[in-house]
Copies of this chain bind each other. A is one copy, B any other.
Amino acid sequence: MIKVGIIGVGTVGTSVVQILKDNADIISARAGIDIVATRGVVKNLKKERAIELLLTDNVDDVLDDPEIDIVVELMGGVEEAFEVVKRALRNGKAVVTANKALLAYHRYELQEIAQDLAFEYEASVAGGIPIINALRDGLSANHIESILGIMNGTSNYMMTKMAKEGVAYEAILKEAQALGYAEADPTFDVGGFDAAHKLLILASIAYGIDAKPEDILIEGIDKVTQDDISFAQEFGYAIKLLGIAKKDGSEVELRVHASLISKDEMIAKIDGVMNAISVVGDKVGETLYYGPGAGGDATASAVVANIIDIARSGKSTPMLGFDKALKGKLTLKPADMIESKYYLRINVSDKTGVLARIAKIFEDNNISIETMLQRPASSDSANLLISTHTAVEKDIQKMIKEIAALDFVNSTPVMIRIV
């Protein structure tokens, strides 16, 4: 029998206990051995919980229990969780975690410390979708050319609603908060940080690249308006918050931002709270993985799959999918050197000569315009909706500053990258 201790028994932890019980028949048939959760660590022992599990508020009761084979870390946070999983590994226990923040900061150290012990983290990216499994094992024959995904369900729900119902960002945010899809402070989701954590984990598996959230370009969806949506629809795009990793020679670009993406792409067709990740390999071409990115049972499904894997075979794959040889071979492309097509929304006073002056600034910055729309914004202002041919990030940023400084421009132009 395999014994599991769970540190942090919230929504996901409760689902893990429930799945191990509900599906014990199929789990033991698949693992070849019975798996039982024997201990749970919680902060507040007095809180009523609807699970049958021996609880403690002392983490040592799990970490130092010689009977426990696998420690499941669901406490969240970074440094405290890091200390806990390190202790678990030092005590010879396999670890399963759903903690993306922990991995966004400490994955390489954890790979070092884990050595021959299993350290699994399927649930840390895209909840119930077995994307770690696919990327690390299923696509291992490929040089990965790109990863491009909807990695945050909250943002995708909001973008979908804005596109389908024509409602403003603020109204949809309130609705998402009421439905429990968005937190009271939604920054972690709509600001792109949640997606960035996941992107960094995937990029490590694909490229062995070491970066932390503060090293990469992260922007959110909070500046997207119905003007942008209608431009997108007119020109055959959807707007999605995407996490993107792309190999370019010996460099890898990593970025999270609202993106205009052609409606013909599969990723553009993913609606609602669902997640989807497209991976392009040099041999296989594009494969795509779709499913629920959050939720107690979906996330716990991935946690339990990891537990079954460990029960089946101990450690079967290196934690990040490669030995040391791969680490550091590729470097992070500086964010200001990223190349993209761009869409700009520029709110200008409705005066003669404005268009010509804007066009001249594009020309002076060597940025070539692909399409342009002018739409009235108010009685005396207009929005210029402009898409460019491929340009370099630093050139666009410089030009945006120049445009923002013009007397007839009413606010800093909004920019959305076109994928």
Residues of A within 8 A of B (CB): 15, 19, 22-23, 26-32, 122, 128-130, 133-134, 137-143, 208, 266, 269, 281-292, 295, 297-298, 300-305, 307-309, 312-313, 315-318, 321-323, 325-326
Give A416 Cβ to nearest chain B Cβ, in Å. Answer: 24
Give A259 Cβ to nearest chain B Cβ, in Å. Answer: 19
CB-based contact B289/A287 at 8 Å: yes
- Residues in B with CB closer than 8 Å to A318 are 30, 32, 312
Knowing A130-B134, A134-B138, the reply to whether A283 touches B313 (Cβ < 8 A) is: no
Knowing A312-B316, A325-B28, the reply to whether A15 touches B290 (Cβ < 8 A) is: no
Q: Using CB atoms, name the residue of chain B closest to A122.
A: B138
- Residues in B with CB closer than 8 Å to A269 are 266, 269
The listed residue (B30, B283, B304, B309) touching A15 by CB distance below 8 A is B283
Q: Using CB atoms, name the residue of chain B closest to A20.
A: B141
Q: Using CB atoms, name the residue of chain B closest to A315.
A: B313
CB-based contact B283/A23 at 8 Å: yes
Identify which of A286, A289, A323 gathers the most chain B CB atoms within 10 Å of its CB. Answer: A289
Alpha-carbon separation in the docked complex, A303 to B284 (Å): 11
Show 21 residue pairs from A and B whose CB-CB distance is below 8 angstroms, ordered by the A residue. A22-B283, A23-B142, A27-B140, A30-B140, A30-B322, A31-B140, A130-B287, A133-B137, A134-B289, A137-B137, A137-B309, A139-B305, A140-B304, A142-B301, A283-B304, A285-B291, A285-B292, A285-B298, A286-B292, A289-B290, A316-B316
